[in-house]
Structure 1
Amino acid sequence: MNRVSNGSPSSARPDRLITLSDGIFAIAMTLLALEVRVAPDLDPEQFHDALRETAPQLAAYALSFLILCIFWRDQRQILLMSAKTGGLPQHLALAVLGMIALVPFPTSILAEYGAREPLAVAMYAATICLIDLLQLAMFATLRGRHGVRAVGEWRDTAADLGATVVVFGASVPIAFFAPQAAMWCWLALFPAKAALGRRERLRSTPQDS
């Protein structure tokens, strides 16, 4: 394992930042679940109506949970690629975490208003896009200042991060004209991620054999 020659913040190992990231992601994921609820003291008819009304909340929860899982994986992968962090990369990592903690808010707005309010869809997409842009900036800065393990790794990571920027960034203007179509566009992220992951595994297979 690489060792840091001094204990200054500019050459800090990423261990503590990874631990902080894990905690913030866990809290954000938990807050997503707290948004799904049914009012108490309902009669049977009201109870069944309330359950049906939770469908948009559950859909928004599932979408955001999956996206946070992807961001958590990417954050750990980026930080583990570098032997040390600090300075601008550390500030960018904290900015990512600040935005991650905010995700439950646009998720609740999306669940409440959905396709009825284009701004709710655009705001959600813009939040996800901004988080990914910050991760890309953090990754590029770490690569430039501290390096990464292998060329193949950074290319795969850059392509993986770029897929989220393209999908959600493109859906922002679409949301103002066809919010429902913009939300359907988001589903393209998951097969794109799967294809990129498969390509990465195929590329690494000869090295492991």
Structure 2
Amino acid sequence: MKQAMGEAGRGEAGRGEAGAVRAGAVPPGQGAERVAAFVDAVFAIAMTLLAVELPRPPAELIEGDQTRPVMAARLWDFLGDNWGTWLAFVIAFLILGGVWREHHRTLDLVSRVTPRMMWWHVPLLLVVVLLPYASALIGETVANPLAVCLFAGAVAALLLTQAGLLRAVVRDGALRPEADARELRVRAGTLAVVGAFWLLTAGLTWLVDGVTPLWLLTPVVGRVAARVLGRTLPA
């Protein structure tokens, strides 16, 4: 009798432990590891394509019977004439690197990827793969307001979708217990402010010339926004 009761008790304990494991398990399709691996691959390809879009000088421009100083001067002039392409490349590369790092940090803090978070990945990755094209377009001419607007709009969309993803993480309660939800809200608000700044430059390009140097203020805008939000957002 005692042996039977012991076996029954051990069976109940085993079922209880199995139920706890099932309760704490991540549902199928909501694991963060597979999502992170896929996103990493998309970002890596997009950042590589930025360099592929950089213009190459024609051979007849930098080769021939000219002296070495003349060939170097021609190449220097070619690089100077395409300064917009290099500016777009550097800015887009830094933006993609920053958003990728932010995404990497975020997925390290979540216990699962909810359907709402998965939905936000669709526009996020869409803008990521389109940014190299927008960079190449503005590299052709920084004087065309539409080219500048498309590039600034793509960067703004990238930042705003990342902010939406962070808000979805907090809203769905997908954070690990040790994660700080307020810090994530501050980061989301900072991304939203910087995205709004880029949208502002996209609109200004239709009114005034020389908007592109304003993009260099992005780190300053982000730092100020993070400091203000860190002081004003409630706990």
Assess same fold via TM > 0.5.
yes
The normalised TM-score by structure 2 is 0.74
Q: Displacement of 1:46 after TM fit? A: 4.5
Structure-2 separation of matches of 1:166 and 1:104: 21
Aligned to 1:17: 35
Q: 1:41 aligns with which of 60, 85, 88?
A: 60
Q: Displacement of 1:78 after TM fit? A: 2.5
Pairing 1:116-135 to 2, within 5 Å after superposition: 116-135=143-162
| AA partner of residue 28 (structure 2) | S
* Greater Rg over alpha carbons, structure: 2
Q: 1:105 aligns with which of 129, 133, 143?
A: 133
Q: Displacement of 1:26 after TM fit? A: 1.1
Q: Displacement of 1:166 after TM fit? A: 2.2
Q: Which SS does the other structure have where 1:176 is aligned?
A: coil
| AA partner of residue 174 (structure 1) | L
CA separation of 1:146/1:40 partners in 2, compared to 1, >3 Å: closer, same or farther?
farther
Does the 8 Å CA contact 2:113/2:174 hold for their aligned counterparts?
Answer: no
Listed one character per residue, the Cα deviations across residues 29-79 of structure 1 (whole Å, up to 9, x for unaligned) are 111111222222334364443233232221111111111111111222222
Report which structure shows greater RCO (CA 8 Å, sep ≥6).
1
Aligned to 2:173: 146
Structure-1 separation of matches of 2:203 and 2:223: 25
Pairing 1:181-200 to 2, within 5 Å after superposition: 181=211, 183-195=212-224
Does the 8 Å CA contact 1:163/1:189 hold for their aligned counterparts?
Answer: no
Structure-2 separation of matches of 1:87 and 1:6: 13
Aligned to 1:89: 117
Q: Displacement of 1:105 after TM fit? A: 0.7
Structure-1 separation of matches of 2:128 and 2:112: 22
| AA partner of residue 185 (structure 1) | L
Does the 8 Å CA contact 2:103/2:162 hold for their aligned counterparts?
Answer: yes
Q: 2:28 aligns with which of 1, 4, 8?
A: 8
Aligned to 2:197: 167
Aligned to 1:204: none
> 155-164 or 187-196: which moved more?
187-196
Structure-2 separation of matches of 1:91 and 1:177: 35
Aligned to 2:82: 54
What is the count of residue pairs matched by the alignment?
197
> 54-63 or 189-198: which moved more?
189-198
Q: Which SS does the other structure have where 1:99 is aligned?
A: helix
| AA partner of residue 15 (structure 1) | E
CA separation of 1:30/1:158 partners in 2, compared to 1, >3 Å: closer, same or farther?
same
CA separation of 1:75/1:84 partners in 2, compared to 1, >3 Å: closer, same or farther?
same
Does the 8 Å CA contact 2:160/2:195 hold for their aligned counterparts?
Answer: yes
Structure-2 separation of matches of 1:198 and 1:170: 21
| AA partner of residue 80 (structure 2) | R
